[in-house]
Amino acid sequence: MEQDFLLLLPIFFPMAAGILTLALAKAKMGRKAKLTVVFGALVLELLFTILCLMRGDVSVTLWQLTDTIRISFHVDTISRIFAGLSVSVWLLVGCFAFSYMSHEEHEERFFGFYLIVEGALTALSFADNMVGFYVFFEVMTFTSLPLVLHEMTKPAIMAGLKYLFYSVAGAFMALFGIFFLAGYGAIGSFQAGGILDASATAGHEGLLLASAFMMIIGFGTKAGMFPMHGWLPTAHPEAPAPASAVLSGVITKMGVLAVIRVVYYVIGPDILRRTWVQTVWMILTLTTIFLGSMMAYKEKIMKKRLAYSTVSQVSYILFGLSLLHPAAFIGAIAHVIFHSLVKNTLFLGAGAIIYKTGKTKVAELRGIGKEMPVTIWCFTLVSITLVGIPPTSGFVSKWYLATGALSSGTGVFSWLGPVILLISALLTAGYLLPVTIHGFFPGADYDYGSLEKREPSALMTVPMILMTMGAVALGMFPGVILNAASAAAELLF
């Protein structure tokens, strides 16, 4: 295939722009001039990525280490979904951050690493094999760490270290699997249905399954799957709201992308179907869904509640993938997009509340809908979406997940999965909708005389409105998303 070096542009341009932004920390430039540089980089990155996604199935090799080991990039259906989602959300959250970060110190450091991480995410989306994927997976981890550490308080440092330790531990588990499977062809170019050499793996099925399980657990750490979920509820409350939003809405999805590549493009779903790996994987995902929802329901701090919600909701996606069924796969891919829009909006809404009022606990939000109606209406609509009430997008993805489970032929999991999804949906309503109810209807004893309009600026509200509109509208017009997911599923099943 002809080399298309244009693919390198959306990977290394934001990294270069991020390094430039870091250098601007000592430059004698006004804040508006520096933010103009960041905004221009975000917009150009979106345009460069769209240009690459429209060029068809193209590829480029960055570095040929040996005859069999190389770092290369390729655009396929999955690449388009994840890259398009990443750069779109990154721009919107970045615009929100322009206003939110005005009360924080070291803005240049935040936006510098924010841009560098975007380049790493694009590289992961375009990665052609496990070698390149793993390299940029680690780049993403280490460059996103400063976003968690940003405030440099003791809790932020401890949260950052916990994020780092969990991420490195997960990456080592994944690397273990890559090492053991390399001899069976696992480091070749991703291919729908798997790339392992059947003749080489014959007689080594036990090692193959153990390696596959290690890779699922390892990469699943970034997606917050039990038992490697502990970093999420610690990191999110300490990171600035824009960082929390992209950690939950985008970076966790790179863990999902890693699992997709391993299961469906390296090992192959047929090898894992009806094995102990599939069974344990389904058990872990359903455990994560239920426990995450329960912990979110009990949590009193708003951002931590949303973090536990992410633990639960991302495992909806992993459960769909673990069923190894086309309908469930479509539902999982759709939920990647829908959950990203919803959770980014929820975290930005929580951030807007903190920015304008300083309130962090759910119990303190009584009457907040009267003070910040636009923010809380966005919060309400995406909460309904996350519950899965029609005609929102959450209903569409959960419908495919449930129907996929029912027709998956996985025994008890074919009905237990939908039951746990339903229980989780009820718990989701229980931990999100009270914010709306008490926010808009604070009760007769509420001091209405103390009400003060505190709606944030357009830089903060417009991104929330756009993502809210997307989350709701894609439920009524899901064709584009479902067609893209179906195109990927057709190649795998």
- Cβ–Cβ < 8 Å for 193, 489: no
pLDDT at position 30 is 83
Cis peptide before 391 (omega within 30 of 0): yes
In the chain, domain spans: 275-493
**Quick check: 376 and 368 in contact, CB under 8 A?**
yes
Give dist(CA 266, CA 196) in Å, integer.
6
Of 283, 289, 281, give the one whose Cα is nearest residue 311: 289
Residues ≥6 apart with Cβ < 8 Å to 343 = 245, 248, 249, 306, 309, 310, 313, 386
The per-residue pLDDT of the chain, averaged, comes to 93
Q: pLDDT digit string (tens) for 263-274?
A: 999 999 999 999
d(CA 398, CA 151): 37
Which neighbouring-strand residues pair with 61?
Answer: 72
- Orientation of helix 326-357 relative to helix 77-100, angle to 10°: 10
Could you tell me how far CA 434 lies from the centroid of its own chain?
Answer: 25
Give 351-408 pLDDT, tens digit per residue.
Answer: 999 999 989 899 999 989 989 999 999 999 999 999 999 999 999 999 999 999 999 9
**Which pLDDT value is given to residue 2?**
64
Give the residue among 311, 274, 307 at the shortest CA–CA distance from 291. Answer: 311
* pLDDT over 80 at 198, yes or no: no
pLDDT tens for 69-110 read: 899 999 999 999 999 999 999 999 999 999 999 888 888 999
Q: Distance between CA 388 and CA 140 in Å, rounded? A: 31
Q: How far is CA 129 from CA 19, 261, 336, in A?
A: 27, 9, 21
Is the previous residue joined to 227 through a cis bond, with omega within 30 degrees of 0?
yes
